[in-house]
Amino acid sequence: MESEPARAFGYVIGDEIPLVNVVTLPQGCRFLTESLPKPGAFDYWLDLKHARLEGAEGPVARIERTYQIFYAPLEVKGLSVPGVNLTMQCGGERRPLELPAWEFSAAPLRGLRVEGLHTLRPDRVPAELSVVPAALALTGSLLLALASGLRWTWLAGWWPQAGVFARAGAELGRLGAGPWDTAAVKHACAIVHRAFNRYAGQPVFAERLDAFFAERQAWEPRRADIEDFYKFSYAVHFDEDAVDSDGTLPGRLKDLLAACARLELAE
């Protein structure tokens, strides 16, 4: 059996004592792990914190134990960690193996007897931690919460939203300044028709314009412009070669939608 050397002096209350024994097992023998001492109190001043066995099957086993002392002598004093009995299984018989006791010295805890010095050193000033990462994370979270709240209020209809004619005007603007070809002209007319249908809550045909204006007296000044649009749209629908020959159609439709948007906003 060999014991790895451990410091045998200078221990004070609360210190841990590591002990290591290396054992060469006889052929055919193995350690019984259940014979290892269990962690706990060995004496009023000594606790076993943990015990570990490596290589229990041999041929070389390593036994590690860690003790902790809870004794503060008034002067330097010799103490002893008691020996431990282990068991080997050798064929059909069991053999004991004793780990020897280990002696060491414990020292008292005493303050320095020097004038002008404190018994305890002052606490170390803690290192300052950077608050930048936390501040950035907090700012990002607040901005995300604000954006989510604004989005929710918009979806809930708490914000004033652009009317159907204003949105139609913006959509019309994406078709370009003109002149438009046949496809663009028909697309532009479809945009204006959808705006009237959405505003009225039902399809608005040329034949129903009288009823449309009868319900909306404020729109009467724009009757001629709206009726002209419906006549133009009717002609475009049946003319595959309809084009914006003079390039003025975008401006006229935008003016019509702008006027309708003002009327819608005034309601």
Give CA–CA dist 254/177, Å, rounded.
10
Instruction: For 92-131, write each residue's pLDDT tens digit.
Output: 888 898 888 989 999 888 765 666 656 666 777 888 888 8
Final residue of a domain: which of 72, 106, 140? Answer: 106
- Rounded to whole angstroms, the Cα distance separating 173 from 253 reads 10
35 within a domain of the structure (yes/no)? yes
State residue 195's pLDDT score: 92
Residues 98, 168: one domain? no
Residue 30 in any domain: the answer is yes
Contacts of 196 (CB under 8 A, 6+ apart): 204
The number of distinct structural domains making up the chain is 2
Domain match, 195 and 261 both: yes
In a domain, 145, yes or no: no
pLDDT less than 50: residues of the chain: 157
CA distances 4 to 10, 23, 65, 83, 94, Å, are 18, 11, 12, 15, 26
**CA separation (Å) from 207 to 37, 197, 213?**
103, 14, 12
User: Which structural domain range is residue 37 located in?
Assistant: 2-106
Does the residue 154 lie in any domain?
Answer: no
- Residue 118, domain member (yes or no): no
- What's the pLDDT score for residue 184? 83
Angle between helices 249-266 and 182-200 (to 10 degrees): 10
pLDDT at 206: 86
For 49, list phi and psi in degrees, rounded to 5.
-80, -45
Confirm whether 130 is domain-assigned. no
- Is residue 58, in this structure, part of any structural domain at all? yes
Q: How far is CA 108 from the centre of its chain?
A: 51
- Asked whether residue 122 is domain-assigned, the answer is no
Query: pTM for the complete prediction?
Result: 0.41
